[in-house]
Structure formats: C-alpha cells, structure tokens
Structure 1
Amino acid sequence: MKNKQVIGLAACWLISLASRAGEPFSVVTIPAELSAGASAVMRIHEHTFKVKTPSEATETVHYAVTILNQEGKSYAKLEVPYSKLSKVSSIEGTLFNAEGKTVRRLKRGDIQDLSAISDVSLFEDNRVKSAGFTYADYPFTVEFRYEVTTYSTMTYPAWFPQTDEKLALESATFQVLLPAGQSLRYKILNRLPAPEVVDGPTERAYRWQLKRQKVADYEAYAPYYTNLGPGVVTAPKEFELEARKGQMNTWQDLGRFLYQLNDGRDQLPEPLRRQALELVAGETDVRTKIQKIYGFVQQHTRYVSIQLGIGGWQTFPASVVAEKGYGDCKALSNYTGALLKTVGIPSSLALVVAGRNTADVLPDFPSSQFNHMILCVPLAKDTVWLECTNPYVPAGYVGSFTGNRHALLLTPEGGKLVRTPSYRPEDNQQNRSVRLRLDASGNATADVRTTYTGIQAEAIESVMYTASPDDQRQWLYEQFRIPNFTISSFSFQEQKHTLPTVIEQIAIQLPTCATRTGNRLFFVPNQVSSDQILPIQYDQRTSAFRLPSSYLDSDTVFCQLAPGLGVEHGFEPVLLTSRFGRYQASVQMEGNTVKYIRRLVIEAGLYAPETYAEYVDFRRKIAKADRMQILLKN
C-alpha cells in the first residue's frame, strides 16, 4: 500500500511538471546552461523594422524575459521613446508566474506618458511611454509588445539582443523589410551570422537569428561594441527628414545633407558684427583672434539643449543665440563660427560622438552615429578645435569629451571624416610635491601640492566649479587611498594655459604613517599616490583592450625625520618598462630628509588580447613598487 502511495505521488508530480512545461514561459523549460549565472533569460525577442515609404517606417518589438532574481528586476519595466517625428501605436504587456500562468495584463491606465527632457535640456519634444509590473515571487516572466511609427527614415535601428552580462538568450530574431528592389546597408559585429535575404513580390526581407546564448563574459577595457554581444547596425542608402531628401552611402553624402540643412543660418545683427570687429582690432595673430572670439562666446552665452522636431539636426540661426544668450551644441558652434567669419576666419561645423570613454563612430559604416557638434578652425599649419558648450576650457582644448576620435566636418563639398586631437602623456600630468614631517612615534603631517594638466585636470576642474566646499572635501577624501588621514585644509587654483591647469593644495594629518616595531619604524614613502587597483585577470582573454588616455604622474616626497631618527635600510631604484609605459622609483638621503621620487608614464592605445597578461603583470609590479618600505631606526 505504501509503495502504491509513493508511485501515485510521483505520478502526480510528473503530471504537474508536464503540465507546467506545457506553458510557453514555464521556468522549468529553460535549459540549465542558460540559467547558470544569469539574473534573467530572454525567452523570445522578435524585432521587425519595416520601411513603408521613403518617409515612414514601423518598428515592432515583441519579447518575453524570465526574471530569475532581484538583479534582473529592471526587465519588468518597459520604456518606449517617441517624439514629434514618431508615435507609439500600441503597447501590450503580460505578467506570468514561475509556472507560466498568467497573473495579470497591462491596462490602459498602467501606461504612463512622460516627458523625456534631460537635465541639461530646456526645450525638447522627446517623450516616453512607460509601463511595467511589480512582483515579488521570483522567478517570473514579463512579456511586452509595442509598435512605433516613425516619420523619418534617417535612422535605422541597431540590434544587440544580449547587451547585459547577466542576461542569457533563448531565441531572438531581427528582420528589416524594404520595398522590393531596395537593399539594406548593414555592418555585422561580434560574430553574428550573416542574414537570410528573401525577395518577395512587394518587399525584400533581411533576417538575423540567435539561439541559446549563455551569459556573456564581459572583459574589462574592451572596446565599446565588443561587450554588446553579437549584433548588427543598419542604415539607409536614401532617406527623408521632414520632406528633405538625403543620401548616406558615404560620409560625403551625409555631410552634404547636413551642411545644406544648416547652411545660411550664420547671419548676425549688425551691432554684434561691429562688436566682434572691435574685439580683434589691431590683432594680427590668428590664434589670438580665435581666443578672443571664443572667450567672448564663453562669457556671453550658456549651453541649453534644445531638441524640437528637426531641431535635433538643424541649428537655430546665429541671430537667435545673439538675442537669447543661449543655445545647444549646434547653435553655439554655429554662432561661434559666425563670429569668426565676421573677423575673416573660416571654420566648419563638425559632428562627433561626445563623452569620456564612449564609443567612437564606426568609420567604415557611414550613418547617423553622432550626438554632439563642435567647431573646427583650420589654420595654415594646424587646426584649432573649439568646444563651444563649455565656459571654462581654453580655446583649442577638447580633452576626453571629444578628443582622440573621428569627427565629420560639414563642408560645401560634403562630409569629411577626420580625427580630433589626441593628447600625449606630457599633456596629461599629475605633478605632485609632498613635504612630510614624521615624528618618532610614526605620526606625520604633510603639505601636498599637486598640479594637474589636460585630462587629469578635468575631474578636479568640475569639482571646483560645481561642488560645494563640503562636497569638495568629501571628494578629496575619496581620491586618496590612505587608511587613516584627516584633511586640515585645502584649496584649488586654476591657471590659464593652452591646457586646463589646476593647482591643488592640501594639508593632511597622518596618524600611524609609519609602523613601529621595537625601536624601528617601517615607513612607506609613497603615501599619497600609491596605485593598488589591479586589472582583472582572465585565464584566456579573447578581446582587444583599450587604454583610453596617456598620462604622466610624477611625485617627489620630502620626508623630514624627527631628531634621532635615521635610515637603516632603503631600497634599490626600481625601473619597469613595457609597451604600455614606464615606471621608476628611487629614494635617497639628504641630511635628515628622505627624498623619494616616482614617475609613471602610461601610453594610450588599443592592444591585442594576447598582451593583456603582460599588462596585468606590469600593473602588479607597479603596485608592489608603490608599497616599498624604508626601515628607520631611533
């Protein structure tokens, strides 16, 4: 009888399991290798982009994702952006429990229509439809469907269905449908298989498919697109933007369209023209004229993002900036160019992808990849680049925001893809002098003076201008990796040079700066600049890695010893060289003062994956050298 009960219970359990497995989104149907290490599993992802006419397209997305734990809860929310040039036709959503049973569906009242104005924007017509589910019983599944109709075909979608390192993927498809006879421009990335191309009587279809993708192993310092997983970017050959027709087969084509869109919008009021001419009167040096015009723009305008309709691509007239005193990146660049034109200096608007450590454009795939505009001023033997939205940086400095990447010049002849300036280690310096006083107990006080230049000055310059004194002090505490110290006072001073330059002065107290053992003290001279953050080690790295900025750190520490203290043992000079840079450190006695000198140079670049272990070893040796001790004795 007992055996029959056990058999009966097992049969019921198997029937229950089979019943649950019959639900399309039951958790038990997820392959074990996909759920391993994942916070969510994309069960199905179907994305279709259909071009109906030269000026209209629809984008339809259907996906279901099983959220395994709290780390994946962001997938329970849907946000669909739209603007004046698009509309959201429909949104549907369903919540399923672990067994794949329907818990609830989205109602019309669950969908919010919100403004998507960014923090720096004054006028924008971007909006977002937002909806989602809240559910506490993990795992669960959400399914969403939506459709967006767009009335501009200048931008086609990119498809990367597995951008999250904790997201596994069961099945995903992407298709682009074009009118018969048309062809799609696309670029495949990260080993996505080639598309299936199917010609029908009225349309041509390009279809990509991915199946059973485990969670990705993201690698530090990898180029931007590498960590997005397999995917594709697409673009049109011909397009329309509010009844304006353009082509995008080459950078020249795209640049010609955008030049014509912004041409003739550089007219200035006559009083302002006279003021510009008076500003440079008597000057013969072109660079000085540029600096004066740029300084005038910095003093009399402010940056405000304005994204209304075609205004996302077309600048406001320079006369509007002259009247209002503000503008977005396009308007301020155009305004600056108009002032330079007034004083006889030609320039070109330039599109770029802005942001520190962001992806550069794909140079072999002409398309609308940009998010910012700057100004390019060609000279006889050089070029001056102007970031017209920043009121603080020197003329000609673009730094980490738009430096060392491609830019598209807009000229009457069309677009020209060029590179913005890159910066050498000598441009990006952290030059530090420390005067430290060590007593016989191992406590110390120190005066630290640091001069930052170039990219190394950017963060501190931002703190200077935007943070309160209390926030500045807190920021300073976060910069130093000293176990126990107190900031007694601090100050910042900006110096005007061709590169951003900031002098930081700090007075600090360092209890237990040296560790006592009997009548000896163990003293680490590099208290302030020690670099102990090490790169992640990988058993076998597969992707190239990028060091984004070259820089030079130099430190000189003068440690005045208390009476009775002397050096029993120092350390031999350290010299490390590699393809990634150079490091050297040495110590010497000068009377009752220990002098420690350190110099570190890092060279930016894109390095092959097989050299990554060498880079990790280089950084480990630096970290070890930064911990070198001096033995002091009473």
Structure 2
Amino acid sequence: MNKVLATTFLLISVSLFLCHNNNALASGEHDKLCSIQLTDEQSKADAVVILDAEHLEVEKSDKSWLEYRIVKKILRTRRADEGIFSFPDNKYRRVVSIDARAIHPGGDEERLSIKDVPRVPEFRDFVMYSDQQSRLIRFEGTRRGTIIDITIRWKIKHPVFWPPSIFQSHIPILKKTFTLTHKKNLHVRVSALSMTAAPDTTFTPGSDRIRQEWSRTNIDPLEMESMMPPLQQYLPFLLLSMSDVKELGADLDLSAWNGIARWYDGLSRGRMKPGSKTRDILRDLALNGLSERDRARKIYCYVSNSVRYVAIYLGLGGFQPHSAEETAENLYGDCKDQATLLTVLLREAGIEAYPVLVRTRDLGRLPDISPYPGYFNHAITAVVINGEIIYLDPTCSVCSFGVLPSTLQGSDALMVGGSDKSIIQLSHGPGTDNTLRITGSVTLNESGEARVEDKFECAGLFAEIYRSLFSRSSGQPPEERCRRILPGNHPFLNVEEVDLAGRESSAPEMIMDVIYTVPGFMKNKKTVFLDAILHKLSISLPAEEDRVFPIDMGKPKINSYKLDLYLPPSRMVEAIPAPVEISCEHFDYSGIWKITRSSIEFQREFKIKNNIVPVPEIPEIRNLLKKIKKFENCKLLIIDTH
C-alpha cells in the first residue's frame, strides 16, 4: 500500500532512517574514531556503527526537518553492501543536503555531496507507474578499517511521512541518539515499542521550544534465528505522530484507530463512485437471478483474474487509490485500486462492502502500537452477506472466494466503515480450513515396479500454493510440474497422468489426481525405504542452540494422508512401526500402520493449532518433532513368501 513507510520497518540492513545535527568528520577526529576499543563480540561483526544519531525539528504540522548522521567502521569486507546506503527522496520527504565521506586506512578519502548523488527511481522496471525516488550512496573502495561518515538532511511536508526511529540493527551500535525539538504548542506524540519511552527533556527559559533526547549505548546486533516470528515485532523503535491535523487534505485523528479509518475514507470516498465502465462490467457479468453470495463470488473472481497488479506511487498514490472507473478502464492497479474497484462493483450490485486496511503478516503484529497510518501496507475488501463478514483480497488470483492468502492470515486489519471500529485479526476465512488431504494407493507387482495413484484435495493456503504451482502461465506441462510435489527423487519415476480440477479461484478447493510408476522400487530388496512412494511430512526442527525468540511453526493448518499399499502374492510385510499419538498445546499428530487382509494401510494427520512456541517450551517441542520425524522416516521389512 505504501512502500515508503512499509520498507522503513522492513529494511534495516541497507540503511537506518535516523538523524542528528552534527558535522562530518573534523580534522583529527578520524584518529580518535580509529582508536575506539571494541569488545571481543563487537570485533567479530562485519562492521560497527560508531554513531547513529538523528534530530527531528518540527516547525509546524506541514513543515519539519530531519537530519541524520551515521558513522560506520568497516571491520571485514565479506558483505559487499556495507558501503552502500539508500535514502528516500520524494516530494513529501525531500533531501536538501548530503555530506558523505569514506576515509580509508592510510588517509585516502572519498567525498560526496548532494550533486554527486543523483536521484534514482525505486521501481526501475516500471517508472511510468511511480514517482518514488531515492538517493543511493555507494563507496567503491571500502576495506577493513574504512570509516564512513554520512550526514543527510530532509525537509518533510507532513508528519505522516516521519519515519520510525530504529534503535537496533544487524551490526553493533556503539551510540544511538534521537533528538526531538518542537514548539510547546505543538502536540507531538512519541510511542516507544520494545524500549523505554522516557527521554531527557529540556525546557530552555524564555524559549517556546521543547527539546527531548533518547539515547542508548553499546547496542548488541539483533540476530535472526531460524523459524522466528517476523523480525519487526522485536525491533526497538520510536514512532512519532501529531494528532488532529490535516494529512493529504483529509482530517486525521490519531486518538483512536477509527480516526485512521475516517481519514482513509475521506481520501478514497470521491474515488468510489460508479460510472459507465463499472456498470458495463456488471452488465457483462450477468448477475441477475444469482444469490447474493454467488453475485459476490462472480464479481470477486472477475477483479482478481482480470485486473493486473501494478504498484503505483504517483503523487498521493502511496495512500490514495485511483478511482474505480479509472481502474476498470485500465485493468491494472495496486492493492488499493483493486480493493476500491471490487468495493464499488459489490455495492453497485446491491451488496454491502467496505475497504479494509491490512498490515501483512511478514511485518509482524504490534499490539501495543498507537494509531498510525503507516502501520498498514495493504488493502482488501470486506463483504457482508447474511450478517457474515467475508474478507476478499482481489490481488490474489489463486485464492478461493472468502479465503485470504497466506500472507494475510493472522494479520492486523482495520475496516473503513462497517461495525468494527478498532484493530481486528484476520483468520484464514470463515468455514474454510487450511487443509491438504492426500489419499493414495500403491500397487507393487512381481517385477518390483510400484504403481501409485494419489488424490490431492487442497483448500485454503494449500489451494493457493498448488494453484500457483500449476499456473497456466508456467510454460511447463502439468506432468513436469507434478514431479516437484511427488515423494522422493527417483530418477526413473514416470508420471503417466495428471488430472486437475479447481484451478480457478471460483472453485472452493483444488483437486488433483496423479498416476505415476516407479520401476524397480522393490526388486531384490527385503528392507524397503518408502521415500519414493510415501508423502512424508516435512518437519522443520529448530536449531539446537540457546534462543532469544519464539518459534513460528507456520499458519494453523491440517495435513492428512491415507495410503493403501498392495503387495504381490509372493511378498508380505513382517513388521510395521509402532503407532505414534501426540497432542500438545501447539499441535496434534497421529500416525499408524495397520496390516489388513488386502493391504498395508498407513494413516497420518498433523494439525497445527497454536503456531507460536514460547522459548521455555522449545526443548519439549523439539523432542516431539524428533519423534514425529523418526516415525515419518520409517522403513518396512518385506519378505519373500516363496
């Protein structure tokens, strides 16, 4: 929805959007910085930030200055991007000065000013859809011991474009400060997340200004861990805003989340008017005689399959959608544009519908955050049918009606209008679980060949995944694509037949029937490993290490599998693995092998319930997953009865 604000939370490795009123390296300061003593742990990093400081000076609601200084020392040259910095530069946050220097061991120096750092488009592949630009500072000669000192200054038109002040990075920071200066009559609100909010506050006698400073020293790097929740949930940062101001022409009340909903409604209301093109679409869809749900489904499928997604950031495009009529004419647009068109078409068809602002799951949920427009980076539509609220994402062409894409499941959202006045958490979709059900049969003949027939029934995120895999635009026949999901990696596996149903989003689920053979699977073997025929559950185990963050086991879902194995008369199974039954707060698992009169039967079901595992519970979960993995990797002892 708004890349400028959303990427502030996402990208901390290239640059930290932080600032301060300092001069660049003065004479003699280089030697002082080179002599700074680092701890053993700090010395192991690729680089270290000696100073990261920012100063936000607010003159009035539509005029403020942000100055940033970063001093970084390169300790190793393994990472090529340690000498690269990217800073946004657009009409609402305009760069007015740059003073950048790289001082190398031996005294060699590179120096850049604003005239040496041209603006470059942030979307180079489709500049016709975007006026977003940035300044890319690149020092080519960085090496061990190089010190980089950058001071950059912005003029910012609106408080909504104030970036968060982030107090941690992927490398150590020796000192980090954030200074805020503003007139006493300006109500600047500062929210602190994952850090202490109390600043040092200074009131100068006879002055009408307030000065506040937040400062931290010797900040350890924030290190990623396998299977952790989104990193942004743990970043310490300050968020600044002003309440009761006009933002982009509409009143913005930040006292409650509903104020943001009313603000977005003010920006988009004039764009949500039907016209001749939208009415033509409804006429061509032939909705007469259909139920309300079927009308909504048909409209959703039209928008999700006919309108091409293009990120558009022209002027106010980061916040304000284009008109529904314009999107209907062009058949392209970003998430706001598609949600606007879908909402207008639904309303014109007599169905209650509202836009919904969403924070995608990869950015993490921040339950303690104060109301802030930049919290959201996506837009969808809510439709109300017989009192039931159904959420629709028209940018997902592979999602069934009423099923949200995996990136939105569990996300925070805000309805613009309707009954919900505060943050809600999105589920996967009413009445539709994320389920993958596989039923299969394997027939082994006397020559040792295995003939396998599998049926895949996919709903929710699994339908999204399999529809994407078998997209008609892939350029590969289904038989070739199918090899990616079949068990094992047998070199002579032969896919004979693939039958696909429900490839379109109009279907509630996707069903796939596959027939394939594995030559020589059991020839001259007594112990048979089942990798080539058994759909084993993919179990990810967290690393055996001390952890700081919880484990995210993925979205709630159900994975079930039933297999019948038919042996030739000359063979029989002598032993089968013992069954496994596990139930805990986070998941349920059951697996069993049975010998029947006609076949050997295998059944398994794995259900993730509560996907976030707190750190104290990780050892127990790791042991349970190991037990499951051992059972899934079982083998059968098959003997010759002759």
405, 413, 424: which is aligned to 1:418? 424
Question: What amino acid sits opposite 2:146 in the alignment?
Answer: F
Call closer, same or farther: CA 1:306–1:593 in 2, change over 3 Å. Answer: same
1:177 corresponds in structure 2 to: 181
Distance apart, 1:410 and its partner CA = 1.7
Q: Deviations over 1:367-398 (max 9, x none)?
A: 01111111112234311222122344333222
Equivalent position SS for 1:393: coil
Call closer, same or farther: CA 1:261–1:216 in 2, change over 3 Å. Answer: closer
CA distance in structure 1 between the partners assigned to 2:526 and 2:324 by the alignment: 71
**Pairs aligned (count):** 608
Instruction: Judge which range, 366-375 or 294-303, deviates more.
Output: 294-303
Equivalent position SS for 1:24: helix
% identical aligned pairs: 18
1:463 aligns with 2:474: no
1:66 corresponds in structure 2 to: 73
Q: How does 1:19-30 map to 2 (within 5 A)?
A: 23-26=31-34, 29-30=36-37
Q: Deviations over 1:564-586 (max 9, x none)?
A: 22211112222111111111111
1:82 aligns with 2:89: yes
2:509 corresponds in structure 1 to: 501
Q: Deviations over 1:544-572 (max 9, x none)?
A: 44444111111222333345222111122
Call closer, same or farther: CA 1:623–1:514 in 2, change over 3 Å. Answer: farther
CA distance in structure 1 between the partners assigned to 2:427 and 2:471 by the alignment: 25
1:199 corresponds in structure 2 to: 203
359, 370, 377: which is aligned to 2:364? 359
Call closer, same or farther: CA 1:439–1:21 in 2, change over 3 Å. Answer: farther
Tell me if the contact between 1:155 and 1:236 (Cα under 8 Å) persists in the aligned partners: no
Q: What's the TM-score once normalised by structure 2's chain length?
A: 0.84
Tell me if the contact between 1:453 and 1:499 (Cα under 8 Å) persists in the aligned partners: no
Q: How does 1:215-614 map to 2 (within 5 A)?
A: 215-225=221-231, 228-270=234-276, 272-273=278-279, 276=282, 279=285, 282-283=288-289, 285-298=291-304, 300-354=306-360, 357-360=362-365, 362=367, 364-368=369-373, 369-411=375-417, 416-422=422-428, 427-438=433-444, 444=450, 446-465=452-471, 468-470=474-476, 482=488, 484-489=490-495, 491=498, 493-495=500-502, 501-506=509-514, 510=518, 520-524=526-530, 527-539=534-546, 541-591=547-597, 593-614=599-620
1:187 corresponds in structure 2 to: 191
2:7 corresponds in structure 1 to: none
Call closer, same or farther: CA 1:150–1:287 in 2, change over 3 Å. Answer: same
Q: Deviations over 1:412-460 (max 9, x none)?
A: 9995433333359971122223433446787645344322221122222
Equivalent position SS for 1:310: coil
CA distance in structure 2 between the partners assigned to 1:80 and 1:252 by the alignment: 32
CA distance in structure 1 between the partners assigned to 2:118 and 2:193 by the alignment: 35
Equivalent position SS for 2:270: coil
Call closer, same or farther: CA 1:246–1:414 in 2, change over 3 Å. Answer: farther
Instruction: Judge which range, 548-557 or 530-539, deviates more.
Output: 530-539
Tell me if the contact between 2:273 and 2:325 (Cα under 8 Å) persists in the aligned partners: yes
Structure 2 unpaired stretches of 5+? 1-26
Question: What amino acid sits opposite 1:23 in the alignment?
Answer: D
Tell me if the contact between 2:98 and 2:150 (Cα under 8 Å) persists in the aligned partners: yes
Distance apart, 1:158 and its partner CA = 1.2
Equivalent position SS for 1:400: coil
Equivalent position SS for 1:458: helix
Tell me if the contact between 1:49 and 1:157 (Cα under 8 Å) persists in the aligned partners: no
1:9 corresponds in structure 2 to: none
Tell me if the contact between 2:399 and 2:460 (Cα under 8 Å) persists in the aligned partners: no
151, 155, 158: which is aligned to 1:149? 155
Call closer, same or farther: CA 1:520–1:294 in 2, change over 3 Å. Answer: closer
1:163 corresponds in structure 2 to: 169
Equivalent position SS for 2:344: helix
Q: What's the TM-score once normalised by structure 1's chain length?
A: 0.85
2:62 corresponds in structure 1 to: 55
Call closer, same or farther: CA 1:499–1:605 in 2, change over 3 Å. Answer: farther
Question: What amino acid sits opposite 1:501 in the alignment?
Answer: E
Question: What amino acid sits opposite 1:493 in the alignment?
Answer: L
Question: What amino acid sits opposite 2:180 in the alignment?
Answer: V
Q: Deviations over 1:146-181 (max 9, x none)?
A: 1121222223221224232xx111111112222223
Instruction: Judge which range, 363-372 or 414-423, deviates more.
Output: 414-423
CA distance in structure 1 between the partners assigned to 2:258 and 2:122 by the alignment: 32
Equivalent position SS for 1:23: helix
Equivalent position SS for 1:78: strand
| Greater fraction of residues in strand | 1
1:11 corresponds in structure 2 to: none
Distance apart, 1:45 and its partner CA = 0.6
